[in-house]
Structure 1
């Protein structure tokens, strides 16, 4: 049974505005992308949060980034068990087919997924403990890192630290993918951990030298 309905009017208006301006001004570039295929230099794994706009942050054009978004920008460990793995499939495609040179994990402030993980770990979100909670089971990827922030004051400080640990968790889990780890070790792929402050527009990167996030 089909229940799909036409787009809301405001989205239709925005589409026609884009087609008459941005597309019209760059029509040849769009046709080239369609004919020649995509050749992004980087993959970005970011949060689904509507406030995080990767292409705007980096001033990127169409075709520059291969972007995958999920709750709290998490990557699960390598687990070829035959089940559905959307994030792992995106990573495999980016690395093996598109052969991106950079793999970026981008976390952000005020992350609802990370806040939900904290609430779950503190017993404040029993609904997330249910087996049929997709969000809860997804946040189990980050759950072991809660112990690292449990003693911090509750609130912004605790949340921001876990947001950054979410980035590090994803980077660690990416290295469990054998084909990816081999490329990193051979110098054919570099990985980057970033965190952005939505309110201030700040951007921080993880420094392997200091073991900390620091301003770009």
Structure 2
């Protein structure tokens, strides 16, 4: 591969600092993780957004969370059509191989992917409507959520659609036969969260209230 280049100096410096401090102080723990494999209790599906830092929010150590990130933290409908399905593969592995007890879908404020979906569905982002747009075709997953919020006042739509991204993903998770079986057998629970980045607020979806409620 002729196009690969060495890491930037600042990343190398940070790695060396981690190796000399955090790793050295916890070497036995890392050896145990390497030898015994991973046994996470939860899978977290969240956005690629660099501001979303799930392990920091929950103070999680290595080995606690099986984390999958994609644009807007979406889960597609179960569709075993022979294509490349990274998110579906991650869900399958977490539920059937790792046997996690929880799957958490976490959305967030000011999500660029959700804003793109909003613009695309409103006809204001023709570049995303092109068949060649990977982002646009991925955000098609959220079109059912857009249909639910399109009648809201403009100032409410973005945040409402961010939360719909979580709900649509939870609904789509239940289309996976192995997820439904695990949920109905009470070996797996699904959870929906939304994070206000600026305010440091975390809300969870409460099905009894049919609303997101602050923790």
- CA offsets, 1:127-172, max 9 Å, x none? 00000100000000001221221122224x2111100000000000
Q: Does 1:106 align with 2:106?
A: yes
Q: Does 1:20 align with 2:17?
A: no
Q: Residue 209 of structure 1 corresponds to which residue in structure 2?
A: 208
Q: Residue 131 of structure 1 corresponds to which residue in structure 2?
A: 131
- CA offsets, 1:89-123, max 9 Å, x none? 00000000000000000000000000000010111
Q: CA RMSD in A?
A: 0.8
Instruction: Indicate conservation of the 8 Å contact 2:40/2:65, yes or no.
Output: yes
Aligned length: 215
- CA offsets, 1:164-203, max 9 Å, x none? 0000000000000001101100100000000000001100
Give secondary structure in 2 for the equivalent of 1:140.
helix
Give secondary structure in 1 for the equivalent of 2:141.
coil
Q: Residue 186 of structure 2 corresponds to which residue in structure 1?
A: 187
Which structure 2 residue ranges, 5 or more long, are not aligned?
none
Aligned equivalents of 2:90, 2:134: Cα separation in 1:
19
Give secondary structure in 2 for the equivalent of 1:117.
helix
Moved over 4 A (4+): none
Select between 66-75 and 22-31 the one with higher mean Cα deviation.
Answer: 22-31
Which structure 1 residue ranges, 5 or more long, are not aligned?
none
Select between 141-150 and 116-125 the one with higher mean Cα deviation.
Answer: 141-150
Aligned equivalents of 1:114, 1:72: Cα separation in 2:
6
Aligned equivalents of 2:212, 2:50: Cα separation in 1:
23
Instruction: Indicate conservation of the 8 Å contact 2:144/2:168, yes or no.
Output: no
Q: Residue 197 of structure 1 corresponds to which residue in structure 2?
A: 196
Aligned equivalents of 1:3, 1:146: Cα separation in 2:
40
Residue 124 of structure 1 deviates from its aligned partner by 1.1
* TM-score calculated relative to the size of structure 2: 0.98
Q: Residue 164 of structure 2 corresponds to which residue in structure 1?
A: 165
